[in-house]
Each structure stands twice: as C-alpha cells, then as structure tokens.
Amino acid sequence: MGGRAGLAAPLPALRGHQEGPARRPQQGLPVLLSCRTSLYAAGEPLVVRAQEAGELRPDATIGDVIRMVSGVAGVAFEDDEQRDRVVAMTIDGLRPR
C-alpha cells in the first residue's frame, strides 16, 4: 500500500456522501447493484495484494474496508485537522498487528 496519504486522499471528496436509513430503500436499484458489484470486483484484488504484502490485517475483507470508508466519509468533522486525525486512526486500524 502506498501509505496513509494514498488511502486517505479521496476521502475529503466524499464528505457529501450520505449513507443511512433514508438511502437504504434504494439498495435494490440496478444501478446501485452494478456499482456495488464493480466496487467489490475492483477492491477485492487490492485487499488480497495488501494482505499478501503484509500491509493489511489478514482478517479484513473488502466489505469491511468499504463500510469503514463509508462510515468515515459520512461524518461531519469539526475541521480538517479532526478529519485527518480520524482518517489516520482508521487507516492505522487496518494495519496488521
């Protein structure tokens, strides 16, 4: 993995993303299912490579990573420093122990 900056770079762009009860009824829409399928297909090999390289904890799955990123992206932060700190803590949690 390219380090913390490589993983965290796209997160500020996701600030407006909302995931919650109001959005869940749309989960079955074909376009969302297609996006989910594409995201998992693209992300799974990255997870496997990161695990093989010893950069990602062995029990992490692509589903775990997607949910974690979605959770962090959907939070309103007090400022950029808080966002950066939370992203850093989140990424540190993905590292193998």
> pTM value?
0.65
At 33-50, the pLDDT tens digits run: 999 999 999 999 999 999
DSSP 8-state secondary structure symbol assigned to residue 60: -
**Residue of 83, 64, 69, 71 lying closest to 19 (CA atoms):** 71
Alpha-helical runs (H) found in the chain: 4-8, 30-52, 62-73, 80-94
Asked if the model's pLDDT at residue 15 lies above 50, the reply is: no
For position 29, what pLDDT does the model report? 87
pLDDT at 17: 46
Instruction: State the Cα–Cα distance between residues 32 and 50, nearest whole angstrom.
Output: 26
CA-based R_g, the chain, Å: 14
Query: Taking CA 42 as the corner, what is the angle to CA 38 and CA 47, rounded to the nearest 5 degrees?
Result: 135
Res. 51: pLDDT tops 90: yes
